[in-house]
Each structure stands twice: as C-alpha cells, then as structure tokens.
Amino acid sequence: MRILVDADFLVALAKKDDSNHKKSVVLAEKLAGSFFFVTQFTIPEAATVLSYKVSQNSARIFLNETRKMNLIELPFAKNLSELTDSVFNSLRKKGTSWIDCFNIACVKNFQLDGILSFDKFYQKNNIKMFSN
C-alpha cells in the first residue's frame, strides 16, 4: 500500500503519553511493508508539536531519527498548491487547516491509498484513513 503519513501520527508514535501512542505502534507494525510518504511539511510540523508538548531535546532527537527513516518525501509542484487552494476554498468550517488540505491534495494527486492520521477531517473529506 501507498500511504501518506500525517504529523499527528508521527507525534503519537514518538510521544509515549499521547492518547494514540499504543494505537500508532500497533498500526506501524500492522502496516509494515507499505510505502510511507510524507510531505515536506510533515516532519517539521511534528517536530514543532513535540517541541511544544514535550521538549526541544525530544523534538531534536525526533527530527534527526525521523530523517533517517525510509519515508518517501513527495515533491512539491505548483499544481499541488493550486489543488490545495481549491480544496481549502471549498470548505466552510472555521479553523480549516491549509496543511490538512495539502495532505488531501497529495493523496489525490499522487493516487495514494489513503492517510495514516487520527484526524477525522480526512474521513469527512472522503480520504481513506488507515487508523480506523
């Protein structure tokens, strides 16, 4: 399978007291053998969250270790930005994340099987979630 990994999944995997930590570990093992993709925003976003919620040292370790993993970084292209803007502009809910819309655009543009995330936003927008 070809799966986009969201920052919230990486945070849950790295943060042992996260409410989704155990679930993320089980999912990572269950989906072993899949191709895992990230955007250029995913790892920095997760590192930032860890810096706020845990510590800068934990975030630094996460950043360095995650960069060594076999995560495939999707290339950024102008059409992705345009597709993301289109998704973002079609939504009306206050607090919509452009980055979450970017993830939707990536799943569609690169014809990925779905996303590994705990954010129900994706399911509500017809993106298959592997965390269910």
Residue 78: per-residue pLDDT = 84
Task: Give 17-31 as a DSSP string.
Answer: TSTTHHHHHHHHHHT
The verdict on residue 101 lying in a domain is yes
The verdict on residue 56 lying in a domain is yes
Residue 112: per-residue pLDDT = 98
The verdict on residue 132 lying in a domain is no
Q: What is the mean pLDDT of residues 43-48?
A: 97
Q: What is residue 97's DSSP assignment?
A: -
Give pLDDT tens digits for 78-131: 899 999 999 999 999 999 999 999 999 999 999 999 999 999 999 999 999 998
Domain limits for position 38: 2-124
Residue 4: per-residue pLDDT = 98
The verdict on residue 130 lying in a domain is no
Q: What is the pTM of this model?
A: 0.93
| Beta carbons of 103 and 87 less than 8 angstroms apart | no
Residue 76: per-residue pLDDT = 87
Q: What is the CATH number for 46?
A: 3.40.50.1010
Q: At residue 103, what is the residue type? A: N
Helices 56-67 and 7-14: crossing angle in degrees, nearest 10, is 110
Which tokens is 63 given? 């950043």
Q: At residue 115, what is the residue type? A: I
Give pLDDT tens digits for 3-23: 999 999 999 999 999 999 999
- Distances in Å between the Cα of 130 and the Cα atoms of 46, 78, 90 are 19, 28, 24
Q: At residue 5, what is the residue type? A: V
The verdict on residue 12 lying in a domain is yes
- Assign 49 a pLDDT band (cuts: 50, 70, 90): very high
Q: What's the domain count of the chain? A: 1
Decide if pLDDT at 56 tops 90.
yes
